[in-house]
Amino acid sequence: AQTVTQSQPEMSVQEAETVTLSCTYDTSESDYYLFWYKQPPSRQMILVIRQEAYKQQNATENRFSVNFQKAAKSFSLKISDSQLGDAAMYFCAYRGYGGSQGNLIFGKGTKLSVKP
């Protein structure tokens, strides 16, 4: 069974600085998707960034980028120029490839605080 591990329960960053959130996963599949979701106090889970395992290039979305190391089964999220609005729970998630692999497998999350 696939598992997702986030080893940092809490992280803190100064506004305008850069922070990296860690995630490791375990799978025997070769094709899959990895995601980072943000969950602010409003509870709504928001997709931050997606990475397809078959792509060697790391995904980027504005201030958010990932470091995807397939062999090491590592998928970290880097947030540059941190803003107060980035404060939230961040969840790393895995999904198998294919329409029938419907479920996301989440880690336990990392609570990110941003200091002004």
The burial class, CB within 10 Å (0-12 / 13-18 / 19+), for 91 is buried
Amino acid at 15: E
Interface stretch with other proteins, choices 16-24, 53-61, 71-79, 93-101 (CB under 8 A): 93-101
CA atoms within 13 A on the CB side of 4: 23
Instruction: Quote the CA–CA distance of 8 and 23 in Å, as a whole number.
Output: 9
Interface stretch with other proteins, choices 15-23, 38-46, 62-70, 75-83 (CB under 8 A): 38-46
Amino acid at 25: Y
Among 30, 56, 71, 99, binds other proteins (CB under 8 A): 99
Residue 50 binds to other proteins (criterion: CB under 8 A): yes
What is the size of the binding site for other proteins (CB under 8 A)?
26
Binding site for other proteins (CB under 8 A): 4, 33, 37, 42-47, 50, 52, 91, 93, 95, 98-109
